[in-house]
Amino acid sequence: MKQFTAFLGAAVAVAIGLSLAPARVSAQASITATAVVEPALTVNAGNDLEFGSVLPGFMKTIAVSDATAGTFDLAGAAGAEVNFTFSALPSDLTFGANNLPITYTGVHNTVNDPITGATSFTPSAGDTTPLHGTTGELYVFLGGTVDATGSPPAGTYTGTVTLTGAYTGN
Amino acid sequence: MDLTLPASLMSGPSNLTVVFGSSDGGYANRNRIDESLPFDPTLPLITDLKNGGRLFVWLGGTVLPTSVQPSGAYNATIVLTVAYTGN
Protein backbone atom coordinates (compact mmCIF):
# COMPACT_ATOMS: atom_id res chain seq x y z
CA MET A 1 0.00 0.00 0.00
CA LYS A 2 2.80 2.33 0.81
CA GLN A 3 4.35 1.51 -2.40
CA PHE A 4 1.13 2.45 -4.25
CA THR A 5 0.96 5.81 -2.48
CA ALA A 6 4.45 6.65 -3.49
CA PHE A 7 3.57 5.96 -7.09
CA LEU A 8 0.60 8.31 -6.96
CA GLY A 9 2.79 11.04 -5.54
CA ALA A 10 5.09 10.75 -8.50
CA ALA A 11 2.19 10.86 -10.90
CA VAL A 12 0.89 14.07 -9.39
CA ALA A 13 4.26 15.69 -9.57
CA VAL A 14 4.50 14.96 -13.27
CA ALA A 15 1.05 16.36 -13.90
CA ILE A 16 1.90 19.58 -12.12
CA GLY A 17 5.11 19.93 -14.03
CA LEU A 18 3.32 19.68 -17.32
CA SER A 19 0.68 22.20 -16.39
CA LEU A 20 3.29 24.78 -15.43
CA ALA A 21 5.46 24.43 -18.53
CA PRO A 22 5.41 27.50 -20.85
CA ALA A 23 3.66 27.17 -24.18
CA ARG A 24 6.07 26.10 -26.94
CA VAL A 25 6.29 29.06 -29.35
CA SER A 26 8.31 28.85 -32.51
CA ALA A 27 9.62 31.54 -34.83
CA GLN A 28 10.51 31.24 -38.47
CA ALA A 29 12.49 33.06 -41.14
CA SER A 30 13.31 32.29 -44.75
CA ILE A 31 16.16 32.94 -47.10
CA THR A 32 16.50 32.14 -50.79
CA ALA A 33 19.17 29.86 -52.14
CA THR A 34 20.19 31.00 -55.61
CA ALA A 35 22.55 29.57 -58.19
CA VAL A 36 23.10 31.02 -61.64
CA VAL A 37 23.95 28.30 -64.12
CA GLU A 38 26.01 29.70 -66.94
CA PRO A 39 25.65 28.68 -70.59
CA ALA A 40 27.30 25.48 -71.66
CA LEU A 41 30.63 25.88 -73.41
CA THR A 42 30.43 25.65 -77.16
CA VAL A 43 33.24 25.08 -79.64
CA ASN A 44 32.79 26.10 -83.24
CA ALA A 45 34.96 25.27 -86.21
CA GLY A 46 36.03 28.30 -88.19
CA ASN A 47 38.45 28.24 -91.10
CA ASP A 48 40.18 25.11 -92.29
CA LEU A 49 43.97 25.07 -92.20
CA GLU A 50 44.74 25.40 -95.88
CA PHE A 51 48.25 24.91 -97.20
CA GLY A 52 47.25 25.16 -100.82
CA SER A 53 49.80 23.96 -103.34
CA VAL A 54 52.92 22.36 -101.92
CA LEU A 55 55.89 21.65 -104.15
CA PRO A 56 57.68 18.32 -103.84
CA GLY A 57 61.04 18.77 -102.18
CA PHE A 58 59.95 21.80 -100.15
CA MET A 59 58.33 22.66 -96.87
CA LYS A 60 55.42 25.01 -96.63
CA THR A 61 54.36 27.00 -93.60
CA ILE A 62 51.13 28.73 -92.81
CA ALA A 63 51.51 31.20 -89.95
CA VAL A 64 48.79 31.58 -87.35
CA SER A 65 48.18 35.07 -88.68
CA ASP A 66 47.79 33.96 -92.29
CA ALA A 67 44.38 34.13 -93.88
CA THR A 68 44.38 30.38 -94.39
CA ALA A 69 45.29 29.47 -90.81
CA GLY A 70 42.88 27.17 -89.06
CA THR A 71 40.51 28.75 -86.55
CA PHE A 72 38.17 27.69 -83.81
CA ASP A 73 36.11 29.77 -81.47
CA LEU A 74 34.84 28.89 -78.04
CA ALA A 75 31.97 30.62 -76.30
CA GLY A 76 30.66 30.32 -72.78
CA ALA A 77 30.40 32.10 -69.46
CA ALA A 78 32.20 35.44 -69.42
CA GLY A 79 35.49 35.18 -67.61
CA ALA A 80 35.26 31.45 -66.97
CA GLU A 81 38.44 29.45 -67.26
CA VAL A 82 38.54 26.75 -69.91
CA ASN A 83 40.95 24.06 -70.89
CA PHE A 84 41.21 23.15 -74.53
CA THR A 85 43.16 20.43 -76.22
CA PHE A 86 43.31 19.04 -79.69
CA SER A 87 41.74 15.64 -79.31
CA ALA A 88 42.76 14.95 -82.89
CA LEU A 89 45.97 16.48 -84.20
CA PRO A 90 47.46 14.25 -86.87
CA SER A 91 51.21 14.08 -87.31
CA ASP A 92 50.69 13.35 -90.99
CA LEU A 93 48.20 14.39 -93.61
CA THR A 94 47.31 11.44 -95.74
CA PHE A 95 46.50 10.74 -99.35
CA GLY A 96 45.59 7.10 -99.62
CA ALA A 97 48.56 5.24 -98.18
CA ASN A 98 50.83 8.25 -98.55
CA ASN A 99 51.80 10.53 -95.68
CA LEU A 100 52.76 14.16 -95.53
CA PRO A 101 54.31 15.11 -92.17
CA ILE A 102 52.86 18.16 -90.47
CA THR A 103 53.75 20.19 -87.40
CA TYR A 104 51.70 22.93 -85.79
CA THR A 105 51.86 26.33 -84.15
CA GLY A 106 49.06 27.91 -82.18
CA VAL A 107 47.90 31.09 -80.52
CA HIS A 108 44.74 32.00 -78.72
CA ASN A 109 43.10 35.28 -77.98
CA THR A 110 39.89 36.49 -76.40
CA VAL A 111 39.29 38.64 -79.45
CA ASN A 112 39.41 37.61 -83.07
CA ASP A 113 43.00 38.68 -83.60
CA PRO A 114 45.93 36.26 -83.94
CA ILE A 115 48.52 38.97 -83.32
CA THR A 116 47.65 41.76 -80.88
CA GLY A 117 47.18 40.32 -77.42
CA ALA A 118 47.42 36.75 -78.63
CA THR A 119 49.11 34.08 -76.52
CA SER A 120 51.20 31.31 -78.04
CA PHE A 121 50.66 27.75 -76.93
CA THR A 122 51.88 24.33 -77.89
CA PRO A 123 49.13 22.68 -79.92
CA SER A 124 50.04 19.19 -78.77
CA ALA A 125 49.53 20.30 -75.17
CA GLY A 126 46.57 22.66 -75.51
CA ASP A 127 46.16 25.38 -72.91
CA THR A 128 44.11 26.65 -69.99
CA THR A 129 42.93 30.23 -70.13
CA PRO A 130 39.93 32.41 -69.28
CA LEU A 131 37.25 33.31 -71.75
CA HIS A 132 36.77 36.99 -72.48
CA GLY A 133 35.48 38.77 -69.40
CA THR A 134 32.55 40.30 -71.23
CA THR A 135 31.84 38.35 -74.38
CA GLY A 136 32.78 34.92 -73.04
CA GLU A 137 34.69 34.18 -76.26
CA LEU A 138 38.04 32.62 -77.04
CA TYR A 139 39.58 32.32 -80.47
CA VAL A 140 42.15 29.67 -81.34
CA PHE A 141 44.35 30.01 -84.39
CA LEU A 142 46.29 27.08 -85.78
CA GLY A 143 49.18 27.32 -88.20
CA GLY A 144 51.54 24.64 -89.31
CA THR A 145 54.24 23.36 -91.60
CA VAL A 146 53.95 20.47 -94.00
CA ASP A 147 57.13 18.72 -95.05
CA ALA A 148 57.19 17.62 -98.66
CA THR A 149 60.99 17.28 -98.80
CA GLY A 150 60.54 13.54 -99.14
CA SER A 151 58.87 14.19 -102.47
CA PRO A 152 55.57 12.50 -101.67
CA PRO A 153 53.29 11.43 -104.51
CA ALA A 154 51.09 14.18 -105.93
CA GLY A 155 47.64 14.38 -104.51
CA THR A 156 45.42 16.11 -101.99
CA TYR A 157 46.53 15.28 -98.47
CA THR A 158 44.12 15.84 -95.63
CA GLY A 159 43.71 15.23 -91.93
CA THR A 160 41.12 16.12 -89.34
CA VAL A 161 41.96 18.41 -86.46
CA THR A 162 39.53 18.38 -83.57
CA LEU A 163 39.51 20.81 -80.68
CA THR A 164 37.86 19.90 -77.40
CA GLY A 165 37.20 22.47 -74.71
CA ALA A 166 35.82 22.25 -71.19
CA TYR A 167 35.28 24.52 -68.22
CA THR A 168 37.83 23.97 -65.49
CA GLY A 169 35.35 25.11 -62.86
CA ASN A 170 37.37 28.23 -62.01
CA MET B 1 16.36 24.85 -34.57
CA ASP B 2 15.22 23.16 -37.71
CA LEU B 3 15.99 23.95 -41.34
CA THR B 4 13.63 23.09 -44.15
CA LEU B 5 15.95 22.45 -47.05
CA PRO B 6 15.12 22.01 -50.74
CA ALA B 7 16.36 19.02 -52.69
CA SER B 8 16.68 21.14 -55.79
CA LEU B 9 16.68 24.72 -56.94
CA MET B 10 14.26 25.65 -59.69
CA SER B 11 14.42 27.78 -62.80
CA GLY B 12 11.07 27.50 -64.51
CA PRO B 13 10.58 23.81 -65.27
CA SER B 14 14.26 23.02 -64.80
CA ASN B 15 15.70 21.85 -61.54
CA LEU B 16 19.19 21.88 -60.15
CA THR B 17 20.10 19.35 -57.52
CA VAL B 18 21.40 20.82 -54.28
CA VAL B 19 22.85 18.81 -51.43
CA PHE B 20 23.77 19.75 -47.90
CA GLY B 21 26.57 17.89 -46.23
CA SER B 22 26.84 16.94 -42.59
CA SER B 23 29.06 19.92 -41.81
CA ASP B 24 27.52 22.47 -44.17
CA GLY B 25 25.83 24.21 -41.28
CA GLY B 26 27.61 26.42 -38.80
CA TYR B 27 26.48 28.28 -35.70
CA ALA B 28 28.00 30.63 -33.18
CA ASN B 29 26.88 33.04 -30.49
CA ARG B 30 28.67 35.88 -32.23
CA ASN B 31 28.67 36.92 -35.87
CA ARG B 32 32.05 35.33 -36.37
CA ILE B 33 32.12 32.46 -38.83
CA ASP B 34 35.61 31.60 -37.69
CA GLU B 35 34.13 30.80 -34.28
CA SER B 36 31.30 28.72 -35.67
CA LEU B 37 30.74 25.11 -34.88
CA PRO B 38 29.64 22.81 -37.69
CA PHE B 39 26.33 21.02 -37.64
CA ASP B 40 24.34 18.85 -39.99
CA PRO B 41 21.68 21.15 -41.46
CA THR B 42 19.50 18.19 -42.37
CA LEU B 43 19.02 17.43 -38.67
CA PRO B 44 17.45 19.48 -35.87
CA LEU B 45 19.94 21.28 -33.67
CA ILE B 46 19.57 22.08 -29.99
CA THR B 47 21.94 24.62 -28.51
CA ASP B 48 22.05 27.50 -26.03
CA LEU B 49 21.74 31.18 -26.81
CA LYS B 50 24.25 31.98 -24.04
CA ASN B 51 25.19 35.56 -23.22
CA GLY B 52 23.61 38.12 -25.48
CA GLY B 53 20.74 35.82 -26.35
CA ARG B 54 21.74 35.58 -29.97
CA LEU B 55 22.67 32.78 -32.30
CA PHE B 56 24.11 33.15 -35.78
CA VAL B 57 23.64 30.43 -38.34
CA TRP B 58 25.54 29.84 -41.56
CA LEU B 59 24.53 27.46 -44.29
CA GLY B 60 26.57 26.14 -47.18
CA GLY B 61 25.67 23.58 -49.79
CA THR B 62 26.64 22.11 -53.10
CA VAL B 63 24.79 22.37 -56.39
CA LEU B 64 25.25 19.63 -58.92
CA PRO B 65 24.56 20.91 -62.44
CA THR B 66 24.52 18.25 -65.10
CA SER B 67 26.59 18.61 -68.23
CA VAL B 68 23.41 19.62 -70.06
CA GLN B 69 21.99 21.83 -67.32
CA PRO B 70 19.97 24.63 -68.90
CA SER B 71 21.48 28.00 -68.09
CA GLY B 72 19.55 30.32 -65.86
CA ALA B 73 19.04 31.55 -62.30
CA TYR B 74 17.88 28.75 -60.03
CA ASN B 75 16.47 29.37 -56.59
CA ALA B 76 14.55 27.85 -53.74
CA THR B 77 13.44 28.90 -50.28
CA ILE B 78 15.14 27.78 -47.11
CA VAL B 79 13.17 28.09 -43.91
CA LEU B 80 14.65 28.23 -40.45
CA THR B 81 12.30 27.43 -37.59
CA VAL B 82 13.36 27.98 -34.00
CA ALA B 83 11.73 27.35 -30.67
CA TYR B 84 12.69 27.39 -26.99
CA THR B 85 13.06 23.93 -25.61
CA GLY B 86 11.98 25.17 -22.20
CA ASN B 87 15.38 24.45 -20.65
pLDDT tens profile A47-105: 999 999 999 999 999 999 999 999 999 999 999 999 999 999 999 999 999 999 999 99
Q: What is the pLDDT of residues A95-143, one digit of tens each?
A: 999 999 999 999 999 999 999 999 999 999 999 999 999 999 999 999 9
B residues 4-43 near A, CB within 8 Å? 6, 9, 11, 16, 18
Q: Do A26 and B83 touch (CB under 8 A)?
A: yes
Residue in B6, B1, B2, B8 with CA at minimum distance from that of residue B64 = B8
- State residue A5's pLDDT score: 31
pLDDT at residue B50, as a whole number: 82
Does residue A16 surpass a pLDDT of 80? no
Under a CB-based contact definition with an 8 Å cutoff, are residues B5 and B63 in contact?
no
Give the pLDDT band of residue A17 (cuts 50, 70, 90).
very low
Q: How far is B16 from chain A (nearest CA, A)?
A: 9
Distance from CA of B5 to the nearest CA of A (A): 10
pTM of the model: 0.72
CA distance B74 to B20: 16
Q: Which of A37, A38, A164 to mutate: most B Cβ within 10 Å?
A: A37
Residue among A74, A79, A47, A84 at smallest CA distance from A137: A74
pLDDT < 50: residue spans in chain B: none
* Burial profile A141-152: b = 16 or more Cβ within 10 angstroms, e = fewer: bbbbebbbeeeb
Q: Is the pLDDT of residue A14 over 60?
A: no
Cβ A83 vs Cβ A165: under 8 Å: yes
pLDDT given for residue A24 in this prediction: 63
Model-level ipTM above the cut of 0.90: no
